[in-house]
């Protein structure tokens, strides 16, 4: 490369989204550096490789010739230092590279809290391709596993290990699973669902020590109550943190993550940060400073590509949404639904009498404005809820439109009538469902 390139450190969804969109408008040289893998893959698909539903190559959305065709250079390596004044980076082999602009998109690392034994053989998080490979290596000699931490990655890892016939013990320090995110009824529903899938769920339980055998591999863990649980594998899934250790000795400003303004600029000229490793100094109302979510990484990459091709653009993620799976229960959330609502937020909740299906609708109890919705076991249409939030519709409007918002296939059973019945009883109303043809719904979305 004759001219200094745009360098992207990290080839996850944020870095690759930036590179793709940058290349659409600029022919400047661009180099992507990653120590994890040479080619971009879908991180959320890793669990399905382990479970046998996908092959590794199925996780790569682009053909190998995509990179050459689009003149995107790739380098497998580790960046160990950044020199903002010289506009240079140093790699682990002590070589240096100059850059025109630097985009840091290094993602996250699993949290560790200094537990005794956390570096033993058979102890790891589950985030990277290397984590998948090592988990595969350990699996043939693992009969019992312990997972520490009650988040989404923990549930994924529990399902993965359970699919291979492993006995799984799940340590959750809270008194109910993910109860800092899910309202009480939903959290308790997931507790029961995990137990139904033969996961040994231990609530209000802390890890005290990871114990080793004579070879240096984990053989058991000790809980805060003194109980010893035998295991050959420990998954540390107590959240993630921004992967920024390599810039701690630079002038790039950090807090928990790399601090950026609304244009994703750091405090150093020509250096930007996107994705999980970035922290918004002034987050949009209703959004967190750090959001380690696939779609926010994609949006940041797309936004920054606009700025670095001459159309300076602020990052505006819009309304919060997310989705996940708890074994076979699909979860979606749109807008803001507090785990423990404070006035004026109030909740309408409905749960099926026998099946693991539920919804929670948050609304302002004074104005009745819709604030957000959680669904378990029911899929909803993102575009419609996004439109409803922008138009600041009422909770009554949402109930009327539930059938139109449903995204489940035609042959799936729907539950709008049961939800409507409970809502009318609680609110002393006589609302009726309004059903439109798909042509009308699509027209309304596009307008």
pLDDT in tens, 252-311: 999 999 999 999 999 999 999 999 999 999 999 889 999 999 999 999 999 999 999 999
Position 409 confidence tier, pLDDT thresholds 50, 70, 90: confident
Position 150 confidence tier, pLDDT thresholds 50, 70, 90: confident
Position 413 confidence tier, pLDDT thresholds 50, 70, 90: confident
- For residue 444, the model assigns a pLDDT of 56
- For residue 445, the model assigns a pLDDT of 53
The rounded distance, in Å, linking the Cα atoms of 118 and 126 is 14
User: Average pLDDT for residues 423-443, to the nearest whole number?
Assistant: 78
Query: Going from the N-terminus, what domains does the chain have, and what CATH number goes with each?
Result: 6-109+241-307 (3.50.50.60), 123-238 (3.50.50.60), 321-446 (3.50.50.60)
- For residue 414, the model assigns a pLDDT of 87
Q: For the chain, what is the mean pLDDT? A: 94
pTM of this structure: 0.92
More confident residue, 309 or 437: 309
User: Average pLDDT for residues 168-176, to the nearest whole number?
Assistant: 97
Integer angstrom CA distances of residue 363 from 240, 299, 391: 31, 27, 14
Residue 389 predicted with pLDDT over 60:
yes
pLDDT in tens, 79-106: 999 999 999 999 999 999 999 999 999 9
Residue 416 predicted with pLDDT over 90:
yes
User: Average pLDDT for residues 179-186, to the nearest whole number?
Assistant: 95
Residue 442 predicted with pLDDT over 60:
no
- For residue 286, the model assigns a pLDDT of 82
User: Average pLDDT for residues 117-134, to the nearest whole number?
Assistant: 96
- For residue 50, the model assigns a pLDDT of 97
Q: Are 292 and 298 in contact (CB under 8 A)?
A: no
Which residues neighbour 320 within 8 Å (Cβ) at sequence distance 6 or greater? 286, 287, 333, 334, 335, 336, 372
More confident residue, 63 or 1: 63
Query: Phi, psi at residue 160, to the nearest 5°?
Result: -60, -50
pLDDT in tens, 304-337: 999 999 999 999 999 999 999 999 999 999 999 9
Q: Are 274 and 265 in contact (CB under 8 A)?
A: no
pLDDT in tens, 30-56: 999 999 998 999 999 999 999 999 999
The alpha carbon of 91 is separated from its chain's Cα centroid by a whole number of angstroms, namely: 29
- For residue 22, the model assigns a pLDDT of 98
Query: Phi, psi at residue 143, to the nearest 5°?
Result: -110, -30
Residue 1 predicted with pLDDT over 50:
no
Question: Any bridge partners for residue 424, and if so which?
Answer: none
Residue 439 predicted with pLDDT over 50:
no
């Amino acid at each position: 490369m004759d001219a200094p390139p745009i360098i992207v450190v990290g080839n996850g969804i944020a870095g690759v989204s930036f590179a793709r969109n940058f290349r659409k408008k600029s022919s400047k040289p661009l180099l992507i550096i990653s120590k994890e893998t040479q080619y971009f893959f879908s991180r959320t698909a890793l669990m399905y490789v382990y479970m046998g539903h996908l092959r590794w190559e199925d996780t790569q959305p682009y053909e190998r010739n995509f990179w050459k065709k689009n003149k995107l250079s790739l380098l497998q390596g580790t960046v160990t230092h950044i020199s903002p004044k010289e506009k240079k980076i140093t790699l682990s082999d002590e070589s240096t590279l100059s850059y025109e602009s630097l985009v840091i998109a290094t993602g996250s690392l699993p949290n560790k809290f200094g537990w005794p034994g956390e570096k033993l053989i058979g102890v790891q998080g589950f985030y990277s391709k290397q984590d998948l490979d090592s988990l595969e290596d350990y699996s043939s000699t693992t009969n019992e596993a312990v997972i520490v931490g009650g988040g989404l990655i923990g549930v994924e890892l529990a399902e993965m290990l359970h699919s291979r016939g492993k006995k799984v013990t799940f340590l959750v320090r809270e008194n109910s699973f993910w109860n800092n995110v899910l309202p009480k009824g939903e959290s308790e529903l997931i507790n029961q669902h995990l137990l139904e899938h033969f996961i040994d769920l231990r609530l209000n339980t802390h890890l005290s020590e990871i114990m080793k055998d004579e070879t240096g591999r984990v053989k058991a863990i000790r809980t805060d109550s003194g109980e010893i649980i035998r295991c050959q594998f420990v998954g540390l899934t107590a959240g993630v943190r921004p992967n920024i250790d390599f810039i701690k000795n630079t002038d790039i400003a950090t807090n928990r993550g790399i601090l950026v303004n609304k244009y994703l600029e750091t405090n150093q000229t020509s250096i930007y940060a996107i994705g999980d490793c970035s922290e918004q100094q002034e987050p949009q109302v209703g959004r967190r400073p750090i959001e380690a979510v696939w779609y926010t990484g994609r949006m940041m990459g797309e936004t920054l590509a606009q700025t670095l091709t001459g159309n300076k653009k602020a990052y505006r993620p819009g309304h919060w949404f997310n989705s996940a799976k708890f074994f076979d229960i699909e979860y979606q959330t749109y807008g803001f639904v507090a785990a423990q609502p404070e006035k004026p937020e109030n909740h309408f909740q409905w749960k099926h009498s026998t099946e693991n299906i539920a919804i929670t609708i948050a609304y302002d109890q004074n104005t009745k404005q819709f604030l957000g919705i959680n669904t378990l076991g029911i899929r909803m249409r993102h575009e419609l809820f996004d439109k409803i939030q922008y138009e600041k519709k009422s909770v009554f409007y949402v109930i009327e439109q539930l059938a139109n918002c449903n995204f489940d296939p035609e042959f799936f059973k729907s539950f709008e009538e049961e939800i409507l019945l409970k809502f009318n009883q609680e609110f002393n109303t006589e609302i009726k469902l309004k059903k439109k043809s798909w042509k009308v719904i699509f027209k309304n979305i596009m307008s």
